[in-house]
């Protein structure tokens, strides 16, 4: 069983670099690949005083919307990868 963790670098939004990371954890199993996603947001050091502003944007509603998005898109990704898998 193999595992990989992929970190996506912070995004740019309106020219401001936001301290937001998308982490994808992939675990290869005999039955397929388990995929877990996690969004992390927050400033380090003195910038932490701005974290409450991020929490307003990355709310429980945002988390629920992202979970719904993942439940919709990840199966589509699975199907697409299965279609494009090279045959030996």
| pLDDT 10s digits, 9-49 | 555 566 667 788 888 888 888 887 888 888 888 888 898 89
Separation CA 3–CA 43 (nearest Å): 28
Instruction: Compare 83 and 65 and report the one with higher pLDDT.
Output: 65
Residues in Cβ contact with 23 at an 8 Å cutoff, skipping those fewer than 6 apart: 5, 6, 7, 8, 37, 38, 39, 40
Residues in Cβ contact with 37 at an 8 Å cutoff, skipping those fewer than 6 apart: 22, 23, 24, 25, 66, 70
pLDDT at 22: 82
Q: Where are the domains of the chain?
A: 3-84
Q: Give the global pTM.
A: 0.63
User: Contact, 46 vs 33, CB < 8 A?
Assistant: no
Query: How many other CB atoms are found less than 10 A from the CB of residue 19?
Result: 16
Least confident of 3-7, 42-46, 49-53, 57-61: 3-7
């Amino acid at each position: 069983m193999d595992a990989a963790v992929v970190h996506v670098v912070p995004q740019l939004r309106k020219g401001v670099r936001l301290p937001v990371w998308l982490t994808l954890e992939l675990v290869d199993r005999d039955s397929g690949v388990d995929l877990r996603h996690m969004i992390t947001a927050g400033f380090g050091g003195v910038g932490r005083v701005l974290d409450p502003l991020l929490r307003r944007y990355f709310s429980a509603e945002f988390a629920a919307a992202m979970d719904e998005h993942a439940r919709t898109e990840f199966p589509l990704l699975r199907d697409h990868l299965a279609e494009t898998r090279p045959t030996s």
